[in-house]
Amino acid sequence: MSFVDSTLPEILARASWRPDSWQSRSAGQQPLYAERDALHAVLAEIHQLPGLVTWGESELLKRQLAEAARGERFVLQGGDCAESFDDCTAEQIANKLKIILQMSLVLIHGLHKRVVRVGRIAGQYAKPRSADAETRDGVTLPSYRGDLINRSEFTAAARAPDPALMLKAYERAALTLNHVRALVNGGFADLHHPEYWDLDFVRHSPLAAEYGRIVGAIMDSLTFMETISGPLSESGRVDFFTSHEGLHLPYEQAQTHFVEPAGRWYNTSTHFPWIGMRTADLDGAHVEYFRGIANPVGVKVGPEMTPSTLLKLIDILDPDAEPGKLALIHRFGADHIRDCLPPLLRALRSEGRRVLWICDPMHGNTERTDSGIKTRRFENILAELETAFELHEAHESVLGGVHFELTGEDVTECTGGARGLVEADLDRAYKSQVDPRLNYEQSLEMAMRIVGRAR
Ligand code: PEP
Ligand code: CO
């Protein structure tokens, strides 16, 4: 793809990408560290440490995402809005894996497609904030930006950006990923044993019978296939990939390595980093960093995006139209998707560009209750998703996946769903420091409703 509108300096600038070339651009959402020496020492240390993922895994994911873009697979991406260091426990990691595996089982069964499982996990530690500072009772301190940057407690010491937290984040991500890999390789994800994924409360859930029926049907098919052709080796193994918002560029740069056999640069902190909506400007530092890495990458697309900006963004991030390279994750809100999405779909179609489209039905549907609690309604999340399926179909496009903020715990952060959570329930188990997540039951129900819609 050529840059017909570009000036010569622009073309030269593009040619000279380096892991640190983003530093000459304006970078949104970056904290200010008081001690530069401490910052550089931590970054140098992280750079020396082994990557958390390999470039071969990122390439495998890219191939699977290319299939999803063609409608041959379906992507399930989900996890916390922000992971916290304290939640790095065996139980919470297993619960997150369980709900994603259970949802993927429902989707495989109902959509008759293989599912690409991508966690917002093992590195989702940095958050964009609407304001740099927060004031309480006349005291103003830097905003909490996630455990990668500072601490949430409202004191000057806790809110000061601390470079040592990056090292801790790298280690927590490694511990999380190690546990996920051990569970997956140890047979936890074996389709023959979906009972490993049972969570206590599934038995008391209004959805228990429906889920039990799906598991029963899958076990029957598996037994039938194995009776005919012997044990299916693939059913004992699943691929599980990681993703996070590549927000904090010094941290991402420190984990960027040139891979000789591939002849390309890879971010080895995650398989699939994405650019958040607030940092996706064409001339900004995030787009500059992301254009140089060979990982599959995502970009959040919100209501402000115009067709012409989107086409330029695609040219910059995926100049060679590489299959599976670029995912556009749209997040407009149930009330806006009908106005916002069709012009973008038409623009891509008229330019003959194929990307992977994923719907994030969470971030355009956030609201506050009268008492100021951040929440989301199950019915709005579902409505945006259903409209997304309808609009892609009407424009001969493919909705290749979904992106949820969810947890394997029994929290009360979003209202609605089969159990009928109402605003008064939110107090009972509201744990998120940032955005409200679907709880375990609401997540499973969402997978069932997607399947209902697809039928
Ligand atoms: C997020 O995914 O948590 C997020 C901040 O999303 P967005 O960039 O779409 O607002
Ligand atoms: Co969020």
Taking the CA atoms of residue 251, residue 252, residue 253 and residue 258 in that order, the dihedral angle to the nearest 10 degrees is 140
Higher pLDDT, 433 or 356: 356
Q: In 180-254, where do the E strands start and end?
A: 240-245
Helix (H), strand (E) at residue 46:
helix 36-48
CA 370 vs. chain centroid, Å, equals 29
Summarize the confidence of residues 61-88 as an average pLDDT.
Answer: 98
Under the banding of pLDDT at 50, 70 and 90, the label for residue 4 is very low
> Cα separation of 397 and 388, whole Å?
10
DSSP string, 60-124: HHHHHHHHHHTTSEEEEEEE-SS--GGG--HHHHHHHHHHHHHHHHHHHHHH-SEEEEEEE-SS-
Give the three-class secondary structure for 313: helix
Closest ligand to 432 CA? 2
Closest ligand to 274 CA? 1
Higher pLDDT, 7 or 69: 69
Gyration radius of the chain over CA positions: 22
For the stretch 199-227, pLDDT in tens is: 666 677 788 888 888 888 888 888 888 88
For the stretch 251-307, pLDDT in tens is: 999 999 999 999 999 999 999 999 999 999 999 999 999 999 999 999 999 999 999
How far does the centroid of ligand 2 lie from the alpha carbon of residue 399, in Å? 21
Under the banding of pLDDT at 50, 70 and 90, the label for residue 12 is low
* Under 8 Å between Cβ of 366 and 436: yes
Positive or negative torsion for Cα 59, 331, 245, 377: negative
User: 203 burial class (0-12, 13-18, 19+ CB within 10 angstroms)?
Assistant: exposed
| pLDDT confidence of residue 171 | 98
| pLDDT confidence of residue 354 | 94
For the stretch 354-413, pLDDT in tens is: 999 999 999 999 999 999 999 999 999 999 999 999 999 999 999 999 999 999 999 999
* Under 8 Å between Cβ of 180 and 119: yes
> Cα separation of 293 and 257, whole Å?
9
Ligand 1 pocket: which of 145, 247, 363, 433 to mutate (most atoms <8 Å of CB)? 363
Ligand 1 contacts (CB < 6 A) are 81, 128, 245, 276-278, 300, 331, 363, 435
How far does the centroid of ligand 2 lie from the alpha carbon of residue 81, in Å? 4
Closest ligand to 303 CA? 1
pLDDT at 10 over 70: no
